[in-house]
Amino acid sequence: MTTANWVDTTMDGVAWAKTCGEDRPERPALEGEAEADLVIVGAGFLGTMTALRAAQAGLKVLVLEGGRVASGASGRNGGYVVPHFPGAVSPQMVEGYLGREKGRKLCELVMSGPNRLAEIVKHYRIRSDYLQNGWLQPAHDEVALGKTRAIYEQWKSLGAPVSWLDAGEVAAELGAGGYLGGWRNPEGAVINPMGQSLGFARAAEAEGAVIHEHSRVESIVQDPGQKAVVRGENFRVTAGKVLIATNAYTDDLLPELRKTVIPVRLWHTTTKPLSPELRKTILPNNACFTDLRKSGGFGRLDIEGRLVSGGSCLGVARDAKGYGLAHARARINALYPALRGQPLEFDSYWEGYVAVTDNYLPHMQRLRPDVFSVIGFGTRGVNLAPNLGLLLGDFFGGKLGLADIPLEQVDGVRKIAAHGIKSAVAQQIFPYYKFRDRKSFVV
């Protein structure tokens, strides 16, 4: 099965389609022969922001999207703009992976990312309900408390505008129970990701990039001394440079490229809008949070007051939706004391994929002399992917060198060891996460 089978262009069941303020125009498929300075495969956050900046530099940019804009992970994620890395991945760990100079640059990019995106949203009048009311990482037990405190101290030393909250302050901010403390960054944000994705595409087109939907790339070839050739069923493009920006929806456009990340299938759901009374106690300041638990310790509200929940799909479940909704109900009741005993109704359920690497950070692969891929954003692509896209656009536009991109850089394909086994485990591991976290959710 190819990732083409994963793409739902209808966005059926996705809550963001209900409140999306951006138009969703049909863009024609590419047919015949074409040439471009830069071809970008994938019209998500990374692809469109790279296209925007490269087009500003004067390049002829073609973006080839196999489905429709916003139908992949960029349009169906939870909409958390988090100024931090996944979970317990700390700034010091990132410096250990990348080296001090490059690691520090990536930390600075993540730290400043929400403000930079806010500026783009404002400049291009993107209708994504961008709300910058802060993000928290609360601690649910003593082990998590030690980890979050260490992470907080590291971000503080880098100059991030973070603050430490005690248990009472966390409870007041979230309306969620059981947390011992945590840290807050006031620059974290929430968005309607479908609106953000469509708005980024519109902005890229305003700068001169051309986006083709329903234009699935099937192969990329570059012979020695020749330009790269990008082919689909009905088109052939000669490209000066190519960027593969397909993240979890990556097939073998080049041999074994899909084995450089682990695809993880996730689900999200939303309740019906909470009553005004409940909204006074549940996330009353419209902040968002994610804790260190693997089985659902996070929360935010959408623009109409729906509470967002989610988790990892169980590959063997016959009724994936029923499984997910049952889990969401249990977790929401455990997290929010004000909802216990209340009738809890859901009005949406949807699924999608993220791509994970061994160290939870994306990497940049130079697959051919002029063909690159940047994939593996895990659960932090809402902030990191578009901000990296701006740097990549400057790289392709000749304003930055390859060494200026703050990612691990690999020549050729770096496969994840035991890829098949890890991929299978990723689809079945959620019950283990629930079991491991069971004592930390007390109703």
Q: Please, are residues 413 and 357 in contact by the beta-carbon 8 Å criterion? A: no
Sheet containing 298-299: give its strands across. Answer: 163-166, 181-185, 135-139, 288-290, 298-299
Q: In Å, how far from its chain's centre is CA 371? A: 23
Which pairing describes strands 346-356 and 262-271: parallel, antiparallel, or unpaired? Answer: antiparallel
The pLDDT of residue 252: 87
Q: DSSP 3-state assignment of 407?
A: coil
The pLDDT of residue 4: 77
* Interatomic CA distance for residues 201 and 117, integer angstroms: 14
Q: Please, are residues 40 and 247 in contact by the beta-carbon 8 Å criterion? A: no
- Where residue 421 sits, what CATH number does that domain have? 3.50.50.60
Q: Pick from 22, 30, 24, 26: which is nearest to 63 by CA?
A: 30
Place of tokens 């997910």: 324
Q: Give the 3-state secondary structure of 108-149.
A: HHHHHHHHHHHHHHHHCCCCCCCECCCEEEEECCHHHHHHHH
Classify residue 275 by burial, with Cβ atoms within 10 Å: 0-12, 13-18, 19+.
exposed
Q: Pick from 408, 385, 366: which is nearest to 49 by CA?
A: 385
How many residues in total does the chain contain? 443
The pLDDT of residue 3: 80
* Interatomic CA distance for residues 66 and 232, integer angstroms: 10
Which pairing describes strands 298-299 and 288-290: parallel, antiparallel, or unpaired? Answer: antiparallel
DSSP E strand boundaries for 167-259 = 181-185, 189-190, 210-212, 217-221, 228-232, 235-244
Tens-binned pLDDT, residue by residue, of the chain (443 aa): 478 787 788 898 999 999 999 999 999 999 999 999 999 999 999 999 999 999 999 999 999 999 999 999 999 999 999 999 999 999 999 999 999 999 999 999 999 999 999 999 999 999 999 999 999 999 999 999 999 999 999 999 999 999 999 999 999 999 999 999 999 999 999 999 999 999 999 999 999 999 999 999 999 999 999 999 999 999 999 999 999 999 999 988 888 999 999 998 899 999 999 999 999 999 999 999 999 987 678 999 999 999 999 988 766 567 888 988 998 999 999 999 999 988 899 999 999 999 999 999 999 999 999 999 999 998 999 999 999 999 999 999 999 999 999 999 999 998 888 888 777 766 665 565 555 655 565 43
pTM check: above 0.85:
yes
Per the DSSP assignment, residues forming a β-bridge with 237 are 34, 230
- Determine the structural domain holding residue 327 and report its residue range: 3-440
Q: Pick from 404, 59, 52: which is nearest to 239 by CA?
A: 59
What are the DSSP calls for 44-95, one per residue?
Answer: SHHHHHHHHHHHHTT--EEEE-SS-TTSSHHHHS--EE-SS-STT--HHHHH
Phi, psi of 100 (to 5 degrees): -60, -50
**What DSSP character marks residue 179?**
-
Instruction: Kindly state the tokens that stand for 293.
Output: 């638990």
Cβ atoms within 10 Å, residue 395: 23
* Interatomic CA distance for residues 196 and 192, integer angstroms: 6
Tell me how many domains the chain contains. 1
The H or E element spanning position 96 is helix 91-98
